[in-house]
Amino acid sequence: MSLLVVGSLALDTIETPFGRVENAIGGSATYISLAAGYFINPVRLVGVVGGDFPTGAIKVLEEHDVDLEGLEVVPSGKTFRWSGRYHYDLNMRDTLLTELNVFEKFEPKIPERHRKSRVVCLGNIDPVLQRRVLDQIEKPRLTVCDTMNYWIEGRNAELRTTLRMVDVVIINDSEARLLSREPNLIRAARLVRDMGPRVVIIKKGEHGALLCTPDMVFSAPAYPMENIFDPTGAGDAFAGGFAGWLARSDDFSDENLKRAVVYGSTMASFCVEKFSVEGLVDLKHLQIQDRFRAFRELSRFDEPPESPDQP
């Protein structure tokens, strides 16, 4: 049981209708590792930061038992920075700033003892880098890859090559439509599966998530949230809960993929309740189990006591 996470570590400046944080700890690898850490320890992280990355952020990761051997520090460089502003309904956001900084020349180097990781979760980074990670892994049992519209539009051919190499791709609904050029989500999922991944997961925000495997479609509900403070990192927290549960349970059956999607949704729901990574740093396992059960209650219904076949 082992999980390798590769992605970005960032300093985020985020504005939502509820407030603003500056240079908060962020990045896909950060969110994925923190979420996955509730399921498997230690999570092996590979990424890069500059000399300006706060020691407090390192401490948060260490306290969550994240293995930082694969974290490259470029003392003279600046950490990746992202800044965004969410609209009043939190479903739309404007990216105000993206500074790649040390990420521009990042060459992921997987430490020797991490090359046999059983589950690999590739955060949302350049598909070329995702591939270079995969090239260094020996016989992974499951590879999971996140991506976004930026790569679908700007690096389509490269992304297509990466998709041929992974088992699971996680995208949101608009990205699935963009990638497949098909408005119907069920058909879009099939078309994306045709590009390589055996399993496609489509995140639909407030509408839940769809899991499509060769043999079934599973529809996971969204947790009914009246107060979303900051959607940043929700997709990464989803990927972390999903990959973390699979790495822990070491069961890749359709039934267990469903549970993994619900654990992903569970971690995403905690993530958006607070700013930055705050929603992921102080959870109890009982809270996670309670929310998993709330997801079950939310979507559970029974057969009728009598069948309506003779009205």
Q: Could you tell me if 12 and 23 are in contact, meaning their C-beta atoms sit under 8 angstroms apart?
A: yes
Nearest Cα residue to 100 out of 128, 121, 75, 79: 79
Q: How many residues bind a second copy (CB under 8 A)?
A: 60
User: Nearer to a second copy by C-beta: 157 or 301?
Assistant: 301
Question: Considering the rule CB under 8 A, would residue 307 count as an interface residue with a second copy?
Answer: yes
3-state secondary structure of 146: strand
**Number of CB atoms found within 10 A of residue 122's CB:** 33
Q: Which stretch binds a second copy (CB under 8 A): 67-75, 98-106, 115-123, 177-185?
A: 177-185
Question: Considering the rule CB under 8 A, would residue 61 count as an interface residue with a second copy?
Answer: no
x-or-dash string of contact with a second copy, 222-241, rule CB under 8 A: x-xxx-x-------------
Contact with a second copy (CB under 8 A) among 41, 136, 161, 174: 41
- How far apart, in whole angstroms, are the C-alpha atoms of residue 80 and residue 78? 7
Q: Could you tell me if 36 and 121 are in contact, meaning their C-beta atoms sit under 8 angstroms apart?
A: yes
- How far apart, in whole angstroms, are the C-alpha atoms of residue 159 and residue 168? 13
Question: Considering the rule CB under 8 A, would residue 253 count as an interface residue with a second copy?
Answer: no
Contact with a second copy (CB under 8 A) among 93, 132, 207, 274: 207
CB of residue 296 vs a second copy: minimum separation in angstroms? 7
Contact with a second copy (CB under 8 A) among 75, 88, 112, 214: 88
Question: Considering the rule CB under 8 A, would residue 38 count as an interface residue with a second copy?
Answer: yes
Contact with a second copy (CB under 8 A) among 44, 81, 203, 259: 259
Question: Considering the rule CB under 8 A, would residue 128 count as an interface residue with a second copy?
Answer: no
User: Nearer to a second copy by C-beta: 42 or 54?
Assistant: 42
Spell out the alpha helix ranges (H) of 26-137.
28-36, 55-63, 127-136
Phi, psi at residue 222, to the nearest 5°? -95, 145
Question: Considering the rule CB under 8 A, would residue 282 count as an interface residue with a second copy?
Answer: no
Q: Which stretch binds a second copy (CB under 8 A): 83-91, 104-112, 130-138, 146-154?
A: 83-91
- How far apart, in whole angstroms, are the C-alpha atoms of residue 139 and residue 133? 12
Return the sign of the alpha-carbon dihedral for residues 255, 161, 192, 265.
positive
3-state secondary structure of 23: strand
Question: Considering the rule CB under 8 A, would residue 293 count as an interface residue with a second copy?
Answer: yes
Contact with a second copy (CB under 8 A) among 14, 133, 210, 234: 210
User: Nearer to a second copy by C-beta: 38 or 53?
Assistant: 38
CB of residue 66 vs a second copy: minimum separation in angstroms? 13
Nearest Cα residue to 234 out of 130, 93, 49: 93
Question: Considering the rule CB under 8 A, would residue 181 count as an interface residue with a second copy?
Answer: no
Contact with a second copy (CB under 8 A) among 183, 214, 215, 282: 183
Q: Strands 199-203 and 209-212, how do they pair?
A: antiparallel
Question: Considering the rule CB under 8 A, would residue 105 count as an interface residue with a second copy?
Answer: no
Question: Considering the rule CB under 8 A, would residue 157 count as an interface residue with a second copy?
Answer: no
Side-by-side strand order, sheet with 10-16:
19-26, 10-16, 80-86, 93-99
| Start-to-end CA span in the chain (Å) | 53
Cβ-in-10-Å burial (0-12, 13-18, 19+) of 63 comes to: exposed
- By the criterion CB under 8 A, which residues form the site for a second copy? 37-41, 88-91, 183-187, 190, 204, 206-208, 210, 216-222, 224-226, 228, 245, 248-249, 255-256, 258-259, 262-263, 285-286, 288-289, 292-293, 296-299, 301-304, 306-311
